[in-house]
Amino acid sequence: MQNTAKIKLADALVKILEKEETKFIFGYPGEQILPFYQALQKSSIKHVLMRHEQGAVHAADGYARASSQPGVCVATAGPGALNMVMGVATAYKDSVPLLVITGDVPSQFKGENVFQEVDVNSVFHPITLQTHFIDDPQKGITIIKEAFLTLKKGKTGPIHLNFPKDILQEEIDPSLLGETAKLKRETDWGPLNHLKEPIENSEKPLILAGAGVLWSHAVEDLEIFAEKNQIPVTTTYPARGIISEDHPLSLGLIGLRGTPAANFAGEKADLILALGCRLSERTRKGIGKGTVIQVNLDETVLKGDLNLQGDVKEFLEKVKGITIKNTGKWLEELQKHERTHDVFTEFDDTPLKPQRAIQEILDGMGDSIVVNDAGSHTTWVNLLMKVREPSSLIFSGGFGPMGYGIPAAVGVSLARPSRQVVVVVGDGGFQMNVQELAAIAEMDLPITICLLNNQSLGIIRQWQELYHNGPFQVELENPDFMKLAHAYHIKARMEDSPGDVLVAVQEAVKLNKPVLIEIIVDKNEDIPLPGELMENFTFSGD
């Protein structure tokens, strides 16, 4: 019997990606990762050539959020890997499952300070769930398989695999591909035995749902549990739409910028089931003294009064026999409070008020998915949009980098090809990753970019005027955005009057092609301040 021919690690890596049903890889090639690209040429996986490594990670991030499946991105050593840092940190803060692949200098040169060498693993360590330097091809197979298993079944976030060029070219026995990986997942359901009585005896229960509900594929389970027990539901920023905000039990967003109903419920609830969320400082703004039962696979975020380290879907399965006796009075009490924000948008002014522009975008986009960038427009979208389905409002909630919106929209569009995508971005954030217009144009993606031009970093100007003796270094001398879009072969138009934005967005989404709509808005209009401004918050401008 002849021995089975060995295969290179790079080919084995591609085969594992195929077996995991990876459809897209977002990347940018370079010398040290070329063996992987050579293997990818023979694959059915589509490589999406972004124009910057940060864009590649944001695109993979958008793909993951829109599909509830891990995103995959790739770059080369040194500068390529370090250009990914912003995107990886963004995904880490929001627990987005990404497989981040980088090439590295050949292993014999590690530690010799050769061309483009840097200790990438040390850089990625604080912003990933795991970072691995693959110096043994056989162990590499195990690590790759365990990484995918963790991303799909364990706690979510980026996992980084760093491959020296020579290791990618080493050969392995293909039988290793058939070996089964084991999930290294810790759970602790011990406290569950003590929860039945407090849950069933609760008179004012509240479900606080986070994005972990999405990653555990428990959206339907949560709605069934809430409806059976008539428990009101509120969400964190990235979880909006987990239950439709038109649903009778939905109270909307809680915490900073939360709805009056959600924050009232959070303050008055005697029991809060915090499922798949990390209870950030923004969320805690809406929580009172009620007992918090927190369920999360990530033990580092457990801050409740009663904590269960475990998967949300498994938790809902374990408690489906629990019945809360009567929440009728509680629901009746909540009916007195608004579930939307009272924001006036019917301005007829010119220059156009940004809130009027955002309202017209939302009214004109139909069932498009919204991808937000970072800045004052983010606040207006959050205040004005009613989110009716999961993963239909996508943005970076925890890190908030400018420049997220355009590359993330590439991933969102590829994940949900039957849907239009509308990006809302400011003139500052637009210019952070403007080069990704090339990727959008090349694939002719149905993405409408609504660029709010206020010729400044608007939210930073507002904080400077409030607290720092006036604006400084926030005025933008912008390019001709129409010519810029045309240079990328993208249709473009400019609007500056009430009523015209609505028509422009309606017409753009019908085209099923890339379109840029530049919207001139009032540079002096401020976002409304929260009830209390926390001085330790940081904001990105637009």
Q: Which of 422, 443, 417 is nearest to 505 (CA)?
A: 422
Taking the mean position of all CA atoms in its chain, how far away is CA 401? 11
The model's pTM: 0.94
Could you confirm whether domain 7-178 is CATH 3.40.50.2300?
A: no
Integer Cα distance of 495 and 511 in angstroms: 18
Q: 230 with 327: CB under 8 angstroms?
A: yes
The two tokens of residue 115 are 């061309």
Q: Residues 371, 423: contact at Cβ < 8 Å?
A: yes
pLDDT value, residue 528:
87
pLDDT at 3 (0 to 100): 57
The whole-number pLDDT of residue 365 equals: 98
Cα–Cα distance between 486 and 106 in angstroms, integer? 42
Neighbours of 343 (CB within 10 A): 12
pLDDT the model gives residue 186: 80
Over its length of 542 residues, how does the chain's per-residue pLDDT go in tens digits? 345 789 999 999 999 999 999 999 999 999 999 999 999 999 999 999 999 999 999 999 999 999 999 999 999 999 999 999 999 999 999 999 999 999 999 998 988 888 989 999 999 999 999 999 999 999 999 999 999 999 999 999 999 999 999 999 999 999 999 888 888 778 888 888 888 889 999 999 999 999 999 999 999 999 999 999 999 999 999 999 999 999 999 999 999 999 999 999 999 999 999 999 999 998 999 999 999 999 999 999 999 999 999 999 999 999 998 998 889 999 999 999 999 998 999 999 899 999 999 999 999 999 999 999 999 999 999 999 999 999 999 999 889 999 999 999 999 999 999 999 999 999 999 999 999 999 999 999 999 999 999 999 888 999 899 999 999 999 999 999 999 999 999 999 999 999 999 999 999 999 999 999 999 999 989 888 775 333 333 334 44
Q: 364, 344, 368: which is closest to 356 by C-alpha?
A: 344
Please report which residue ranges of 177-249 form alpha helices under DSSP H: 196-200, 212-215, 219-229
pLDDT confidence of residue 269: 97
Closest CA to 206 of 128, 261, 246, 143: 261
> pLDDT tens digits, residue range 449-496?
999 999 998 889 998 999 999 999 999 999 999 999 999 999 999 999
User: Per the structure block, which two tokens stand in for 80?
Assistant: 């390529």
Domain ranges in the chain with CATH number 3.40.50.1220: 190-334
**193 Cα distance to chain centroid:** 34
Q: Tokens representing 485?
A: 């879009």
CA–CA dist 30, 126 (Å, integer): 25
C-beta of residue 105 within 8 angstroms of C-beta of residue 143: no
HSE at residue 179, side-chain half, CA atoms within 13 A, is: 16
- Contact criterion met (CB below 8 Å) for 411 and 63: yes
Q: What fold is seen in the domain 190-334?
A: Rossmann fold (3.40.50)
Cis peptide before 351 (omega within 30 of 0): yes
Integer CA distances (angstroms), 160 to 81, 98, 330, in order:
10, 8, 46
pLDDT in tens, 498-532: 999 999 999 999 999 999 999 999 998 988 877 53
CATH code 3.40.50.300 for 354-520:
no
Alpha carbon distance 261, 487 (integer Å): 47
What are the C-alpha distances in Å from 22 to residues 13, 348, 357, 430? 12, 49, 38, 29
Residue 6 CA: distances (Å) to CA of 137, 142, 163: 12, 17, 19
CB 19 within 8 A of CB 180: no
Q: Are 35 and 165 in contact (CB under 8 A)?
A: yes
Domain with CATH 3.40.50.970 in the chain: 7-178, 354-520
End-to-end CA distance of the chain: 66
CA distance linking residue 161 with residue 165, whole number of Å: 13
State the burial class of residue 47 (Cβ atoms within 10 Å of its Cβ: 0-12, 13-18, 19+): middle
